[in-house]
Amino acid sequence: MTQSRRFLITIVVVLSCLGCDQATKRIAHERLVPSAPVTLINDVFRLEYTENSGAMMGVGSDLSGDVRFWIFEVFAGCALLAILTFTLVGDRLDTSMILSLSLMLGGGLGNLVDRVFKGGIVVDFMIITLGPLKTAIFNFADLSIMSGLMLLLLSRIPSLLHPVKEQREG
């Protein structure tokens, strides 16, 4: 794959994820803050506005503001920069790997933008319930990150099932 095509795929996916994430969070703030939670599809999908100062399921929200800043903004920002660099210049990355990393970058950037511009918090507003199973509250950025991880795992299954056999010397 050419460098320009890799760059274009990365930028389009990252900016699309970031744009969708920020737009849905803005709509959630406008529509859900003044109302009770909204349930759809027989309580399978629920919309409820919340602000999360921690990671998934509020992990780390009880840490001091300074510690949260260093972990969720500085460290996360550095990690995203490292992933971006790897995505753009890494050797032997196929299209599915570039898409996977770009989805994770777009989602990570969406949550980082929230933290930087909203005083260290991330807006969450979606919950899915399937029988006894219920997700933590999440947002479009989280969905992008998880989609990238799933695509990465699914695209690697064939190589795990059929590893390249090492050539024997001799």
User: 76: which 2 tokens?
Assistant: 């996360």
Question: φ and ψ at 90, to 5 degrees?
Answer: -65, 140
Active site residue 142: yes
Q: In what order do the strands lie in the sheet with 133-134?
A: 38-40, 45-52, 122-130, 133-134
Catalytic residue annotation: 124, 142
